[in-house]
A and B are shown apart, each in its own frame.
Chain A
Amino acid sequence: MKYLHEFRDGPKAQALAEQIRRMVTRRWAIMEVCGGQTHSIIRHGIDQILPPEIELIHGPGCPVCVTPVETIDKALAIASQPGVIFCSFGDMLRVPGSREDLFAVKSRGADVRVVYSPLDAVKLAQREPQRQVVFFAIGFETTAPANAMAAKLARQLGLKNFSLLVSHVLVPPAIEAILNSPHNRVQAFLAAGHVCSVMGYWQYPPLAQRYRVPIVVTGFEPLDLLEGIRRAVAQLESGRAEVENAYARVVTYHGNRAAQAVIEEVFTTTDRQWRGIGLIPQSGWRLRPEYADLDAELRFGTAEVQAEESPLCLSGQVLQGIIKPHECPAFGKECTPRTPLGATMVSAEGACAAYYHYGRHRQMPVSG
């Protein structure tokens, strides 16, 4: 793969950090929306080389983290049924529902499998016609095209033993919810590059205008992130609030129209509960009524499952940037990757897990 080492170049990163240092005159709070960006920032220590005036707030863009407890409980209920093969992206397996996680039901005999692509789950359904194959279709706009393709393909193949448990979430309504919050501290956004590669960034100019907030479409490697931050700071310092694309090698204004068409055909927008945050209107996708026969909730009768979140878990405040992960009283104590109270401690993209994994709670100066 190209674009890995080139975008991790140390001297170029230092040069970008230096440009930001020279530009900055006051404190600014910038939110990176996507969990993949949070992970990269902590993994490479991007925040350590920024001037102290720049605060990075870790946004809610980790699909594993915001999937409601209720949906996890539905997944557990479906996976536990005899004859079911439950397929999921890997990091959903350790996300706690209200009582346990998918690993636990797997250890008791449930057939839970990790797949990398939903199309692999469709293939599995073809191979195992006597079993019910359910795919856990979660994620932001990024994973939606493949999930929609899986639904289309299953339909074309006439598969009667394939269904989807859908809990898709959308970035722009989440950004708007953060901006509308009375606690909001975010002054600029780094929009999630991969989401924009699918959707484009035509949805953002009205937000930037209405809320007077700079939005910079940003990638995931150190130089991408530093360039996104540099452009956001430049706008903030000069009082501009525009949409810029700092990830032009991947993202275009209109995005991937073929992917959008598939999404449009299979999914329709819906109100969605976000774990730790609450209900955000029109912030999710669900299957269109035409695809109701592929809806695992209907097929397995889990629509009535309800669940409560842990009162100790402050992941909602973390996801809205009100507190940093290590400022939560449960961080590293009641809540660790082994005993996660909330999903932000589970997913590699979760802000709490990123802080824990890279030892931010015991980070110390390094000599030499």
Chain B
Amino acid sequence: MNSQPNDSQTDFQGPVCPVPLRDYPEVVLGHGSGGQLTQELIAHLFVPAFGSPELEQLGDAAVLSLAGGQVALATDSFVVQPLFFPGGDIGQLAVHGTINDLAMMGAKPVALAAAFILEEGFSMETLARVVQSMARAAKAAGVSIVTGDTKVVQRGHGDGCYITTTGLGLVRSRVPPAPQRVVPGDAVLLSGTVADHGMAVMSVRQGLEFEAPIRSDTAPLHELVAAMFQACPEIHALRDPTRGGLAAALNEIAQAAGVGIQIDDQAVPVDPVVASACEMLGLDPLAVANEGKLVAFVPQEHASRVLEAMRNHPLGRRAALIGHAVADHPGTVVARTAVGATRVITTQLGEALPRIC
């Protein structure tokens, strides 16, 4: 490589971006999986290119100080297939996903923008079902969809319907929750069972159909978060463990905060049917997506109060204390297994692959 400075050379070919982009001359599915490949794409391409202090926080949403107040801004795209799955559809996800990103900043969601990329030939009746589902979800969550955009691409250049939503929220607390605020000793609270959404979608995905009564957990979490803040304004960090699952969420926080995390494998609630489906496909429930769950880091002395508030809310009925942040092994998540041994919980590389047998 030429060691002279070269203006025509874009940053990501230079030393700021070492391994991942060179490893993959083309984008692979794993770059969108929420696993390590996604994290590397963000860290080595997007953050250096856009370089704003808000982006560098790598929160679920950005918090901006505007005219005397703080607002949270979040955006999320939805490309799920199939569009309708047990327990939900792409429209609901598009509303809940962005509301939840705002809620993870402790923000009260106010308004959403929605952009649609539609494929030529896509059924108008199906589009209407999706849009009505979005409207119902927004209304139920008390959030308005206030602006939008529509583009149509040629047949074969899209997958029916993609939706991007962007949301604006009002930040309640003066110091919003952030992974960097987590300190050793914090209790790790999980709002309910994991892996429901990912397994519900997988149960109906073409080529993987299996009959199991599993429903997506898609839900707006802002009211649960509000109840938690009422119980304890001192919540250090919140994450909704979507793609990459609980494993990715805990690893991101451990790395951002420079703490270790210890959890108890058996304390993590998993629905028995979901656990069986994961077992059958060789997937780790901790690495499977959720759309209506959150993980919270709170000072130990407030843990039982927050846990009680969570359990009193319909979306947190099965909330559990699953572990603690620790000073040992910073950046690493360790689980105590059922037989009393330990294992390290890592972030999956890319797409979770069903195992052969």
Question: A residues touching B (Cβ–Cβ < 8 Å)?
Answer: 1, 4, 8-10, 13-14, 17, 36, 39, 42-49, 63-64, 87, 89-94, 103-104, 106-108, 113-116, 120-121, 124, 138-140, 142-143, 194, 222, 226, 337-339, 347-349, 356-360, 362-364, 366-368
- CB pair B344 A363 closer than 8 Å: yes
- CB pair B355 A349 closer than 8 Å: yes
- CB pair A116 B208 closer than 8 Å: yes
- CB pair B342 A363 closer than 8 Å: yes
- Tell me, rounded to whole Å, the shortest Cβ–Cβ distance linking A343 to chain B: 12
B29 interface hit (Cβ, 8 Å): yes
Which stretch (B113-121, B129-137, B238-246, B346-354) binds chain A? B346-354
- Tell me, rounded to whole Å, the shortest Cβ–Cβ distance linking A326 to chain B: 13
- CB pair A44 B339 closer than 8 Å: yes
Number of B interface residues at 8 Å Cβ cutoff, please give it: 48
Which listed residue, A63, A89, A142, A359, touches B332 by the CB 8 Å rule? A359
- CB pair B341 A44 closer than 8 Å: yes
Q: 21 A-B Cβ contacts within 8 A? A: A1-B272, A1-B279, A13-B338, A44-B339, A45-B337, A46-B341, A49-B340, A87-B207, A91-B282, A91-B355, A94-B350, A115-B208, A116-B209, A139-B357, A222-B338, A338-B349, A348-B355, A349-B356, A366-B328, A366-B336, A367-B328
- Tell me, rounded to whole Å, the shortest Cβ–Cβ distance linking B286 to chain A: 11
- A124–B208 Cα gap in the complex (Å)? 12
* Given A44-B339, A63-B357, A91-B356, A358 contacting B344 (CB threshold 8 A): yes
B334 interface hit (Cβ, 8 Å): yes
- Tell me, rounded to whole Å, the shortest Cβ–Cβ distance linking B206 to chain A: 8
- CB pair B343 A358 closer than 8 Å: yes
- A44–B338 Cα gap in the complex (Å)? 7
- Tell me, rounded to whole Å, the shortest Cβ–Cβ distance linking A15 to chain B: 11
Report A-chain residues with C-beta under 8 Å of the C-beta of B340. Answer: 10, 13-14, 45, 49
- CB pair B338 A139 closer than 8 Å: no
B254 interface hit (Cβ, 8 Å): no
- CB pair A357 B28 closer than 8 Å: no
Report B-chain residues with C-beta under 8 Å of the C-beta of A48. Answer: 341-342
Report B-chain residues with C-beta under 8 Å of the C-beta of A47. Answer: 341
Report A-chain residues with C-beta under 8 Å of the C-beta of B345. Answer: 359
Report B-chain residues with C-beta under 8 Å of the C-beta of A49. Answer: 339-341
- A356–B37 Cα gap in the complex (Å)? 16
Additional 12 contacts, C-beta under 8 A, given A4-B275, A39-B282, A49-B341: A1-B273, A1-B275, A1-B276, A4-B279, A8-B338, A46-B341, A107-B27, A337-B349, A338-B20, A358-B346, A359-B343, A363-B342
- A8–B36 Cα gap in the complex (Å)? 30
Q: Please report which residues of chain B, range 7-49, place their CB below 8 angstroms from some CB of chain A when the two chains form the complex.
A: 20, 23, 26-30, 36-37
- CB pair A366 B334 closer than 8 Å: yes
- CB pair A120 B339 closer than 8 Å: no
B122 interface hit (Cβ, 8 Å): no
B262 interface hit (Cβ, 8 Å): yes
Report B-chain residues with C-beta under 8 Å of the C-beta of A120. Answer: 207-209
Report B-chain residues with C-beta under 8 Å of the C-beta of A124. Answer: 207
- A12–B149 Cα gap in the complex (Å)? 59
- A115–B279 Cα gap in the complex (Å)? 16
- Tell me, rounded to whole Å, the shortest Cβ–Cβ distance linking A189 to chain B: 19
- A357–B348 Cα gap in the complex (Å)? 8
- CB pair B29 A359 closer than 8 Å: no
B326 interface hit (Cβ, 8 Å): yes
- CB pair A4 B276 closer than 8 Å: yes
- CB pair B28 A104 closer than 8 Å: yes
- For the complex of A and B, list the 10 residue pairs with the smallest distance between their C-beta atoms, beginning with the closest: A45-B341, A359-B344, A90-B353, A1-B276, A13-B339, A48-B341, A90-B354, A8-B338, A89-B356, A115-B207
